[in-house]
Amino acid sequence: MRRPLIGVTTSRKSGWRIFPLVAFNLWLAGGRGLRWVAGKPADLDDVDGIIIGGGDDISPDLYGGQIVSSAHFDPDRDAMERSLVTHALERRMPVLGICRGSQMINVALGGRLEQDAYATYEKSDRHWTILPKKRIDILPGTLLARQAGTAPMRVNALHSQSVSTLGRGLRVAARDSGGMIQSIERIEAPFALGIQWHPEHLFYAHRQRAIFRALVNAARAATERRDQIEAVERDAPY
């Protein structure tokens, strides 16, 4: 069976070292990864699903926030990823957002962000590590719960921003101990899941691998459904 191909957006600065980790996780899950960076072609016709990766802060110009002087923006990447999310969902193509990617899913659907999340959520444990030291609570009945269970999860944390106001058709799937949103997801199909942590660093944890496996399975199912529709249309007697 063909491995679904997943387009993975990355930072122009750090993507060279992050993409191999993401691609490794996709391979373990039965898929393949294709790296995308701003300024180069990123065609949804070439892939079966997408991952919006981590990295630069999202410009507040996209959601009406205030510019923070210490933030690092990439307007070309912002434009590329917002377009990819919008058009992927229109095509019913599955989307996974990692850290910045979770925030971009929210912004692309009309939501807003907390630019200084830990100033707003003062009771949230602040960690800056790829190690799973932060505890989050997964809400029952969510897509994330179906994939990773409802037991408290230990994750890593490398973010300063977080989701605040939810975008259209989204719900909260997990929060940390201080109430900060740690995961969002679409209420209805197609598959769209955003997670605030970096599961690519936690490939040794089966619950993290399950997230990549869910994306790959959704991509395979969407591709098979599209192929069936095209076959019926091709064979129709007219």
Q: Return the active site residues.
A: 99, 198, 200
What is the DSSP track for 122-170?
TTSPP--EEEEEEEEEEPTTSHHHHHH-SS-EEEEE--S-EE-S--TTE
Q: How far apart are CA 173 and CA 11, in angstroms?
A: 26
**Closest C-alpha to 131, from 51, 60, 201, 41:** 201
> In the 8-state DSSP scheme, what is residue 41?
-
**Closest C-alpha to 34, from 8, 2, 3:** 8
